[in-house]
Structure 1
Amino acid sequence: MLLNNSISHTESPLNYPILGIIGCGNIGKRQAANFLAHGYSVYVYDINPARMTQLHSLGAHITQSCAELATHCEVIFTALPTPSDVIKAVLEGKQNLSQGLRPGSIYIDITTNSPETIYRLHKVMNLLGVEMLDAPFNDCSEGATSEAGMGLAVLASGSKKTFEQMQPILQLMADQVLYCGEIGNGTRCKLIHNAVNAVAVQAVSEGITLGLAQDIPLQTIWDALRFGSFGQNPGDIHGLPYYWFSRRCDHLSKHPAFTIKLLHKDLRIALDMAIERDISVPHLGLTVKDYEEAERRGWSPYAATKVRSLQEERAGVIAKASQPLISSSNLSTPPPTKASENSKNRFSLYSVLMLILVSNLFQLGLQWLFHSHHLF
């Protein structure tokens, strides 16, 4: 158990900590069911009683308030829609969570929150003697694949000791669990992820509508995007360590294969196509302006990646790494599939059987040799 002194008379199976989940919507409901399936005792609270009833049928304990839930649980999650919902449930609402929390318990917010709200919550938790992590959750939407079937990643931040204590539970929630550092960093990373994704979505939308306006079938446009370099490496995200972070883009001696000049030409042609059909493509237009500025600076023969230096100037930072960045969980290597695991298991079994067979044949050969030469 996590606490030296139990805060509940309820015994959790297998000596697991007792978990509580406030908010039984899309994410909270699935995680509650997930924890129950792994043998945890789970208490739930939601303003919608029907959601709790569904989880009760799976073995969850229903509570009447956030404060009541806190009295039973050692680890409490909030999975709510907005920062204001979290503030109400944890600090300001009737029978809120802070009124029932006990020193030594752990509070984890998996809401996509605001950094300001996280800091406010963290300050209160410190006063209550409660450890806190912010660990927003990247859900697995249609079109994405989760090996574990729950979600893509948990982006956790807070005390490293608390993170390590909670890591076995967090690992049940998604394929990857990333420790992002000090409190609030997980929330920042999730917001950055969502912003980048939203801009990419708008760019894809511009490309598809531009193709349709050129009378290209939707299936053909979709195939062109998903089978090309964008579809295989969206936003060049996997190539960033090699092309950008290494600063190869700053040196003509690296013999760039695709230059500012060449990509600028492609972008101008694409923009001309849109102008010809009177199609608004604001993201493409802004990108063309960046490439125009790059050419004015004399960067035409440099790698196309160098255009990112303009954004570095605007932000006042430099993206640089002495070595290619590889996640501690080796994200660049896809996780093994069930088929590959089965193949490995079969290979191991065959290896053992062959070893036994060869050993037996060797022993038979020795016996024949000894008998034929009357060595016994």
Structure 2
Amino acid sequence: MTVTKENTTIGFIGTGVMGKSMAKNLLKEGYSLNIYTRTKAKAVELIELGAEWKDSVAELAAESNVIITIVGYPKDVEEVYFGNTGILENAKPDTYVIDMTTSRPALAEEIYSYALSKKIYALDAPVSGGDIGARDGKLAIMVGGEQEAYDVVFPILDVMGGNIVLQGQAGAGQHTKMCNQITIASNMIGVCEAIAYAQKAGLEPERVLQSITTGAAGSWSLSNLAPRMISGNYEPGFYVKHFIKDMKIALESAKEMGVMTPGLELSLSLYNELSEKGEENSGTQALIKLFED
């Protein structure tokens, strides 16, 4: 199969902060899009832009030849892929399925193996870049699966991403995303400490950022989330609750492999504390509240 706008109908499941923007970009590019989400109201904007609503996962799967999912938790992934009403029992042979949820590497391998038994081609392709990357079509997309399947769906991934890399076999995309989240976990602590320090020293945090974002301390979180912290903007580009989920998956995988992750463990404990204070639906930049307290 060669993906063209004429021969491809994309089924899209998941219209959260990032999923909605990703789906919008596919529509703007001219792809036909079937859409399903648990709450139809969340899909209204996409329907108005031309997406076709489907009443169930099964219906969407049967009427699409490329299916993209970006849902909340591994249990949600299992629910949409498996069982009599799931994607893999209802999609036609030669369908391509791309799970862009951050999920367990072992689950990605399970989906791949079962899909292959149905002559369905599965890729795990978690993303990074937050709401801004999703909006601008500049996400980092980390892919696990077969080269042939990757090559087929690359034009679709290219609409949503600016840095797309096939990392290896099934599960490799998820393992790479764990590396990403482990890096962010410690970095977010450093960003918060730096802002708190700047404020205590009587500096103007915005001016401090002008100096340190372009030096050795530079990072995506420092450039994009630190300004939100300073302005008191805690709207979610990425939810605290989802970051906690990701860190737990990373910690579980690291322990299985015998890898030390003290920075990850500290970050998880701080975000758990933040969540217990009622901030689970805030953006990850809300961590600064612990340092201000």
Q: What TM-score does the superposition give when structure 2 sets the normalisation length?
A: 0.69
Distance 2:210 2:82 in 1: 50
Q: 2:118 aligns to what?
A: 128
Name the SS for the 1:153 alignment partner.
strand
Distance 2:259 2:61 in 1: 43
Q: 1:189 aligns to what?
A: 176
Name the SS for the 1:172 alignment partner.
helix
Q: CA deviation at 1:97?
A: 1.6
The answer as to 2:199 corresponding to 1:208 is: no
Report runs of 4+ in structure 1 exceeding 4 Å deviation.
232-235
Distance 1:187 1:197 in 2: 15
State the one-letter code of the partner of 1:162. Answer: A
Distance 1:179 1:113 in 2: 17
The answer as to 2:27 corresponding to 1:36 is: yes
Distance 2:12 2:219 in 1: 37
Preserved CA contact (<8 Å) 1:31 1:173: yes
Q: 1:25 aligns to what?
A: 16
Name the SS for the 1:154 alignment partner.
strand
Aligned with 2:158 (options 166, 171, 174): 171
Q: 2:109 aligns to what?
A: 119
Preserved CA contact (<8 Å) 2:124 2:174: yes
Matches within 5 A, 1:238-249: none
Q: CA deviation at 1:197?
A: 1.2
Distance 1:53 1:228 in 2: 43
State the one-letter code of the partner of 1:200. Answer: N
The answer as to 2:41 corresponding to 1:50 is: yes
Q: CA deviation at 1:98?
A: 2.2
Residues 132, 204 of structure 1: CA spacing in aligned structure 2 closer, same or farther, 3 A cutoff?
same
Q: 2:148 aligns to what?
A: 161
| More relative contact order, 1 or 2 (CA 8 Å, 6+ apart) | 2
Residues 52, 154 of structure 1: CA spacing in aligned structure 2 closer, same or farther, 3 A cutoff?
same
1:140-197 Cα offsets, whole Å, 9 max, x none, are 446xx78x82233111120001111111111111112111111111111111111101
Distance 2:166 2:54 in 1: 31
Matches within 5 A, 1:1-376: 14-92=5-83, 95-141=85-131, 149-231=136-218
Distance 1:232 1:52 in 2: 33
1:44-76 Cα offsets, whole Å, 9 max, x none, are 110011123321111111111111101111000
Distance 1:136 1:100 in 2: 23
Distance 1:233 1:114 in 2: 24
Distance 1:192 1:22 in 2: 25
Name the SS for the 2:136 alignment partner.
coil
Residues 234, 228 of structure 1: CA spacing in aligned structure 2 closer, same or farther, 3 A cutoff?
farther
Q: Rg: which structure is higher? A: 1
Residues 205, 162 of structure 1: CA spacing in aligned structure 2 closer, same or farther, 3 A cutoff?
same
State the one-letter code of the partner of 1:197. Answer: I
Name the SS for the 1:171 alignment partner.
helix
Name the SS for the 2:8 alignment partner.
coil
Residues 14, 233 of structure 1: CA spacing in aligned structure 2 closer, same or farther, 3 A cutoff?
closer
Distance 1:98 1:119 in 2: 14
Unaligned regions of 5+ residues in structure 1, if any? 4-12, 236-313, 317-376
Residues 221, 107 of structure 1: CA spacing in aligned structure 2 closer, same or farther, 3 A cutoff?
same
Name the SS for the 2:141 alignment partner.
strand
CA RMSD of aligned residues (A): 2.7
Residues 218, 89 of structure 1: CA spacing in aligned structure 2 closer, same or farther, 3 A cutoff?
same
State the one-letter code of the partner of 2:24. Answer: A
Distance 2:38 2:137 in 1: 24
What is the aligned-residue identity percentage? 25
Q: CA deviation at 1:15?
A: 2.5
Residues 224, 164 of structure 1: CA spacing in aligned structure 2 closer, same or farther, 3 A cutoff?
same
